[in-house]
Amino acid sequence: MEKVVFPVAGLGTRMLPASKAVPKEILPIYDRPAIHYTVEEAVKSGFSKMIFVTSRGKEAILNYFDRDVELEEVLMARGKREMAEFLKQLSSLAEFISVRQGIALGLGHAVLQARAVVGEEPFAVVLPDDIVLCEPPLLKQMREVYLRTGKSVVALYRVAKEEIPSFGIADAEVKSDGNVVIHDLVEKPPVEEAPSDLAVIGRYILEPEIFSILEKTPPGKGGEIQLTDALRVLAREGRLVGLVFEGTRLDVGNPRGLLRASLEIARRRGVKI
């Protein structure tokens, strides 16, 4: 398993007005673009092919991972060797591939656009709005669950009661062997109707069968083709498991979350603010 799909073709309306001219994935979290952190997690987890599902105006994401030899030379001439080396290694982190989603018809539809590039192998999906800080990296832990169970895997995060209505929540059962079987997923339930406090966050390992399910998935909530609706098909067939992880999740898809993430990452790097 070597491929990760990053759906980055959304409109990013919560990040307006900044995201009108700059993809939200390029907005800095302390000193580097948001997308950097999730690509780094994927690389540390042993993935080597990053597939971006992009749309108009998202070119900056691919530019970031390209070589800029002229800039590197200028930095070297000015004695900034460390930054020149840092920029140089970005392009060799992985192989970067881009596919397009012409119209934003939903997350499920975005994943479906990667079908031809992914082929008939299991693959990961990462939503770069979720930055996860944990050791070993979350995707690596999920890969191990996949290898152990042979089933598609979603990442689950325990949330406080008042946060439940903002998430997709899993109807999940923890088995005696530690595996978490998911029976169903409920989108943004009221607290009293929630089957658990386990929220689905933006990390998935998927069997390629998800593509044929997505193909048949009609538009759901908001008129969009939802990945959750396809995952529910897997769940009901007993083909979806969860990994409840311990660690920090930072939601960088909205201005407050982005600010909080910047502060948290700066603090972890020992920067005085």
Contact residues toward ligand UTP (CB under 6 A) are: 7-15, 53, 101, 104-107, 109-110, 127-129, 253
When the beta carbons of 102 and 270 are compared against ligand UTP, the nearer one is 102
Which residue lies nearer to ligand UTP by CB, 111 or 234?
A: 111
* Cα 33 to Cα 65: distance, rounded to the nearest angstrom: 11
Buried-exposed string 216-238: b where 16+ CB fall within 10 A, e elsewhere: ebeebeeebbbbbbbbbbbbeee
Q: In this structure, are residues 122 and 5 in contact, taking their beta carbons and an 8 Å threshold?
A: no
Q: Is 41 or 72 the residue whose CB approaches ligand UTP more closely? A: 41
* Coil/strand/helix, residue 78: coil
Minimum CB separation of residue 173 from ligand UTP in Å reads 27
Minimal distance, residue 86 CB to ligand UTP, in Å: 25
| Residue (53 or 235) nearer to ligand UTP, CB | 53
106 or 168: whose CB is closer to ligand UTP?
Answer: 106
Closest distance to ligand UTP from the beta carbon of 269 (Å) = 25
In DSSP terms, which residues pair with 99 in a beta bridge?
Answer: 53
Q: How far is the CB of 148 from ligand UTP (least distance, A)?
A: 28
What tokens appear for 2 in the block?
């070597």
- What CA–CA distance (Å, rounded) separates 16 from 195? 34
Cα separation values, 121 from 36, 94, 100, 155, Å = 25, 18, 20, 20
**Least separation, in Å, of the C-beta of 91 and ligand UTP?**
23
Which residue is at the shortest CB distance from ligand UTP? 10
